Amino acid sequence: MANIITTSILVILFSLSAAEATTKLYSVNGHDGMSASPLVAIDGICKSMVETQGYVCEEHTVTTQDGYILSLQRIPVGHSGKKPDKPPVLLQHGLLMDAITWLMNSPDESLAFILADNGFDVWLANTRGTNYSRGHISLSPSDPAYWNWSWDELVTYDLPASFQYVHNQTGQKLHYVGHSLGTLIAFAAFSQEKLLNMLRSAALLCPIAYMGQMPSPLARSAAETFIAEDLYWLGVNEFAPRGEAVAKLLEVICSKPGNNCTDLITALTVIRGGTIAMYDYGSEDENNKHYKRSTPPVYDMSSIPNDLPLFLSYGGQDMLSDVNDVQTLLDSLVDHDADKLVVQYRDDYAHADFVMAVNAKQVVYDPLMAFFKLQ
């Protein structure tokens, strides 16, 4: 069976994953940041989200080695118009989101604007299949073959393409910020010692490298019953969290005993094993064809170079980046150079707070920028 987005589906009910006191829902000009289709604006992110706030913005595209055309947005200067005096920063969004993740609050509360105003050259990535990265050299999103990929392709193609493009455009090594899925693909790449020649440091918010102890029964139910495959046969390729098919599917899942739909949920097949592995083709024969072994290879977090500067920030209320799983990650980094690893814990923060909380600048972004300035 085609591997669609099947290694990483389903739902980030972002509004339900936020600490109530600190996060506000996003809505601008009638557009909802969670919606899949209304945001496909002809004008693009620059005109609809950045220039409206008085910032200069550039639209860029890069083509991956397997033919997907990705969009990137660049905020080359801050609100003052002063030329940046700090290195480029690439921001990578999480599951089922796009670059608007970093622009959802006001300019003094959104990381992309904050970085630009502090002298960084800001670049926003959009992975394949998202609202602003639907292009391909030969395929259309209406073609099922367009969706025949998993998050492994984000590691192998999308992330390297974005890194290389920013590096080529700026002539500098870059800082990286990932949230949720953006941390997952970064950990996988770094564990294989990819991208390091273009990287200054990485800030990983809600780090996901192990998922064996996720507390949400709903997330486990989704993963263990292969909801991704169910979505494929339903014909749901371009996932719309508020679409009719998904609503019906969630109704069934949420009716099962023990499932609490107020939890933040996702359905990553990695949950089934607890560790990050490459795509599982579903049979020993198929895995042997692709990997020359019966099970998919595991991404080994202990292989991340010990001298790579890392800033890890996680929260006590996060139902996806569980504190116990983060501890497993930290255990795998036990030999990391002490002066190259900063770990921040915020007990009251949930998954969405790291990109949407109104106090995130003080709590997360100021320490993050201080870390970047040392690298």
Residues 199-216 pLDDT 10s: 999 999 999 887 655 555
Of 17, 180, 216, 332, the catalytic one is 180
- Can you read off the two tokens belonging to residue 22? 């600190």
Query: In the chain, how many domains are there?
Result: 2
Mean pLDDT of 117-127: 97
What 3-state class would DSSP assign to 145?
Answer: helix
Of 318, 322, 325, 353, the catalytic one is 318
- Residue 227 sits in the same domain as residue 127: no
Q: 176 pLDDT exceeds 60?
A: yes
Angle between helices 181-191 and 159-170 (to 10 degrees): 80
Q: Which domain holds residue 54?
A: 45-211+306-374
Residue type, 36: A
- Residue 207 sits in the same domain as residue 221: no
- Residue 53 sits in the same domain as residue 122: yes
Mean pLDDT of 320-337: 92
| Active-site residue flag, 180 | yes
Poorest-confidence range of 72-81, 234-243, 309-318?
A: 234-243
**More confident of the two residues 96 and 254:** 96
Q: 319 pLDDT exceeds 70?
A: yes
- Residue 108 sits in the same domain as residue 162: yes
| Active-site residue flag, 318 | yes
Q: What is the pTM of this model?
A: 0.80
Q: How far is CA 117 from CA 19, 68, 108, 121, in A?
A: 27, 32, 9, 9
Poorest-confidence range of 32-46, 79-93, 152-166, 297-311?
A: 32-46
CA distance 143 to 237: 10
Q: How far is CA 303 from CA 212, 221, 313, in A?
A: 20, 31, 20
Query: Residue 175 in contact with residue 372, Cβ under 8 Å?
Result: yes
Q: 274 pLDDT exceeds 70?
A: no
Closest to 229 (Cα-Cα) out of 217, 237, 240, 221? 237
Please tell me the predicted confidence (pLDDT) of residue 22. Answer: 55
Please tell me the predicted confidence (pLDDT) of residue 32. Answer: 33
Query: Residue 263 in contact with residue 221, Cβ under 8 Å?
Result: no
Mean pLDDT of the chain: 79
Mean pLDDT of 104-109: 95
- Residue 173 sits in the same domain as residue 203: yes
pLDDT in tens, 38-87: 333 457 999 999 999 999 999 999 999 999 999 999 999 999 888 899 99
Is 54 contained in some domain? yes
Residues 6 or more apart in contact with residue 341 via CB below 8 angstroms: 309, 310, 312, 333
- Residue 147 sits in the same domain as residue 230: no
| Active-site residue flag, 121 | no
